[in-house]
Structure 1
Amino acid sequence: MLLAGGKGSRLHDLTAAESKPAVHFAGRNRIVDFAMANVVRSGLDRLIVATQFAPRTLHDHLPARWGQHFARGGMVLRDGRDRYQGTADAVRRNWDHIGDCDADQVLVLAADHIYDMDYGPLIAAHRASGAAVTVAVDVVALSQASGFGVMHTDPGGRILSFLEKPADPPAIPGEPDKAMVSMGIYVFEAAWLRDALFGQDTHATDFGHQVIPAAVAKGLACAYRLPTGPSGHTYWRDVGTLDALRRSHLDFLSSHPARLPRMSTLSEWYLGRDSVAMPGALVPASARLTRCLVAPGTHVPPGLVVGEDAHEDARWFRRDRDTILITQAMLDRRDTLRVPVSAAARTAMPRQDVA
């Protein structure tokens, strides 16, 4: 079950008319393609995709890009606009398709993360544990953990506590600067999940806030730690902010953390000066952009300088931590409202690129 309905409001203009999983990444790939590549490489042949916000792009893209990897009817797309009230509710409302599969386990995936993972060992570990649910986890810096579901486990991997986005996240015992966080990937025993979603006294709509804590309270939840890759490190990023999206692009350039089939060359989107151009963006050589994301279809004017004058940048563009987003609408507004420089003043200015 692939949950692909998120709006991704922290990506601001990039998700004004697109869902977060549909946002372009590394050229003409989309964020959802990472989860899809993992599904295919893991040999999974039955997939339900739950969409919600602005679903049209995904309903066009997924069959065209990935449909050949599934038998007819093996990939089902379900449009949940204005219906799903949370992650667990999306699964509940698609239980008819899950029941048709007659499966013993249900793998629930988030469609908006950048990572490389074989789900086979995760499923095998779940089956061996006897748990009702197994949560895939990664380790992040404690300073970043408040944006995730944070957990503490016993030596055998049984989850002892689970806190969804705590203000003061607990550290891993013996590792005071790190925390163990949920990747939003779960393996459930199908019978247990059915009871958790349809039980007489249940009104659960969200996995992180309700279903997983209920399993933890009963001692029925285990954690599975993401294995390290060839580099000796793990790579999993929730690219939920503009800064995270740009930085993950640069990570992909430097180390290719996920094995994703190429649809474009790296030179099409990497601009240098730690900046990234998204598909359809045109950036002339005379422009000087530092730590920028150039939105799809944006035509940057010659000589534009962004990332060197914080006050000037703030007048026209959107900033998220160290990242500046440039869109065509922002440039159009800048052209309309910017006070022109007089000929006399221009003559008096030192020779330089003029923004």
Structure 2
Amino acid sequence: MPAVPRLATPVTRPAPVPVTGVATLLLAGGKGTRLHELTARDSKPAVPFAGANRIIDFAMANAVRSGLPRMLVATQYAPHSLHHHLPTRWGHRFPQAGLALRDGQDRFMGTADAARQTWDALEAMGGDQVLILAADHVYDMNYADLLAAHRVSGAAVTVAVDTVPRAEARGFGVMQADAQGRILSFLEKPADPPGMIDQPDRAMVSMGIYVFDRRWLQEALFDRPVEAMDFGHDVIPDAVAQGVAGVWRMPAGPSGRGYWRDVGTLDALRRAQLDFVSAEPARLPFASPASDWYLGRGSIAMPGAVVPESARLTCTLVAPGTQVPAGLVTGENATEDARWFTRTPAGTVLITQTMLDRRAAHAHIRRSVTPPPSNRRGLHA
């Protein structure tokens, strides 16, 4: 099992040294269509993870542990639960009302446009750097280390990176860098990802976390057409073309590698939670013991789900508030799973209450239209 992140900040731990000279923007407006029904009414960062946590809580816990005193959170798709959750759960961890939220109301034209439209608030934070964070990944990072590395690098832009097998890199921004860390090429979600110069079987991928020099970013945001307002597709490639972009590789953890998971698919969401099954509650943003959410057989129950002991669920995600009927079996018959539920090619099954209601209604209709068995003795009487 990979070493999972320790993201809690116990009261016994000394308070982090506040980071100065930086404005922080957390991008939390993604819809997350590959999570199917889980994001029908909520954004991807708001999806529950390992009990009472939400995906966004990992970025928030990282920010607190890193000593970021101020943060602006940009929301867009289905923002209501985040606008309640973030001030309630995290507001007191940012002194002097340092946590602010801005709802794009479907006006943000891309990730970079969210920064452009909130530039007044970012400018009010002061500082010479702008830190852009992603709210939809599960990872452990000290942003203070990233900022320090950027400041000594001389680069105008620093991209936090991880490495993955080449075959798994198609859904990311993929780059090549020289020995000094200068980015030589950047491709957003390429069909044939290039390998690293020194490790051709692996690819260097963007974590969606960037540090910009303020002046460079301001010029980049306000000197481009509104249709070219995405960091991955537009802004970072421009920085690479100018030769001013560098990489920062997340330090290795106890396992010899850092922990970062993109949980944008049902398979990835389920598997990442399994990494935390045997972890201490303190490794989560706040305590959520596995006994509250792990069902066994690779299955996860989300908040409010009720699963009777007679149910046999394999590789299954039970959506929030779902009441599983007694004796339900999933994950063993692909055809039957796909008939009633959302099932991925890799075998993860998602169950929602709506799906179960549809299944129950079909069973009721079948019972009501099927004639009772004939009484053969009566026919011959």
TM class, shorter-length: over 0.9
Equivalence for 1:301: 325
1:207 is aligned to 2:231: yes
Deviation digits for residues 325-347 of structure 1 (CA, Å, limit 9, x no counterpart): 01110000001113449987xxx
Distance 1:187 1:200, change over 3 A: closer
Tell me which of 93, 98, 101 is aligned to 1:77.
101
Q: Distance in 1 between matches of 2:224 and 2:230?
A: 17
Asked whether the 8 Å contact 2:196–2:203 carries over to 1, the reply is yes
Give the C-alpha shift of residue 229 in structure 1.
1.1
The residue type paired with residue 270 of structure 2 is R
Give me the whole-angstrom Cα distance separating, in 2, the residues matched to 1:149 and 1:83: 24
Aligned partner letter, 1:332: D
Number of aligned residue pairs: 344
Q: Partner of 1:350 in structure 2?
A: none
Q: 2:376 corresponds to which residue?
A: none
The reply on whether 1:228 has 2:252 as its aligned counterpart is: yes
1:5 aligns with 2:19: no
Q: For residues 74 and 343 of structure 1, what CA distance do their matches in structure 2 show?
A: 69
1:32 has 2:95 as partner? no
1:216 aligns with 2:240: yes
Name which of 126, 133, 136 aligns with 1:102: 126
Aligned equivalent of 2:84: 60
C-alpha distance in 2 between matches for 1:149 and 1:251: 25
> Which residue of the other structure, out of 349, 352, 358, is the alignment partner of 1:333?
358
Conservation of the 8 A alpha-carbon contact between 2:91 and 2:97: no
Cα distance in 1 for residues equivalent to 2:223 and 2:49: 40
Which position in structure 2 is the counterpart of 1:347? none
What aligned pairs does 1:141-152 form with structure 2 within 5 A after superposition? 141-152=165-176
Give 1:202 deviation, angstroms: 7.7
SS at structure 2 position matched to 1:135: strand
Show the 5 A alignment for 1:311-326: 311-320=335-344, 321-326=346-351
Matched with 1:123 is 147
CA distance in 2, matches of 1:119, 1:258: 20
1:44 is the counterpart of 2:95: no
Q: Which residue of 2 aligns with 1:352?
A: none
| Identity of matched residues, % | 65
User: 1:238 Cα shift?
Assistant: 1.0
Contact 1:115–1:236 (CA<8 Å) still a contact in 2? Answer: yes
Give the structure 1 partner of residue 110 of structure 2: 86
Q: Which of 1 and 2 has greater Rg?
A: 2
Shift of 1:131: 0.5
**Is the contact made by 1:162 and 1:213 (CA closer than 8 Å) also made in structure 2?**
yes
Gaps of 5+ in 1: 345-355
Query: Which residue identity does 1:329 align to in structure 2?
Result: T
Query: What RMSD in Å do the two structures reach over aligned CA positions?
Result: 1.7
Per-residue deviation, residues 253-306 of structure 1 (Å, max 9, x unmatched): 245699333343211110000000000001111000110000000011111111
In structure 2, relative to structure 1, the CA distance for the partners of 1:343 and 1:52 (3 Å cut) is same
**Residue aligned with 2:200, SS:** coil
Name 1:182's counterpart in structure 2. Answer: 206
Alignment of 1:6-25 (within 5 A): 6-25=30-49
Q: Distance in 1 between matches of 2:182 and 2:40?
A: 40
Conserved? CA contact 1:116–1:259, under 8 Å? no
User: Partners of 2:85 and 2:217 in 1: how far apart?
Assistant: 30
The residue aligned with 2:194 is 170
- In structure 1, how many angstroms separate the alpha carbons of the residues matched to 2:130 and 2:185? 23
Q: Which segments of 5 or more consecutive residues in structure 2 lack a partner in the other structure?
A: 1-24, 374-381
Alpha-carbon distance between aligned partners in 2 of 1:257 and 1:298, rounded to the nearest angstrom: 24
Any runs of at least 4 consecutive aligned residues in structure 1 with deviations exceeding 6 A, and if so which?
Answer: 341-344
Q: TM-score, normalised by structure 1?
A: 0.93
Question: Counterpart of 1:353?
Answer: none
Give the conservation status (yes or no) of the 8 Å contact 1:138–1:180.
yes
1:57 shift after superposition: 0.6
Give the structure 2 partner of residue 351 of structure 1. Answer: none
**1:196 corresponds to:** 220
Partner of 2:277, secondary structure, is helix
* Contact 2:267-2:348 at 8 Å conserved across structures: yes
Per the normalisation by structure 2, the TM-score is: 0.87
Distance in 2 between residues matched to 1:116 and 1:257, nearest whole Å: 15
Distance in 1 separating the partners of 2:198 and 2:214:
35
Preserved CA contact (<8 Å) 1:22 1:57: yes
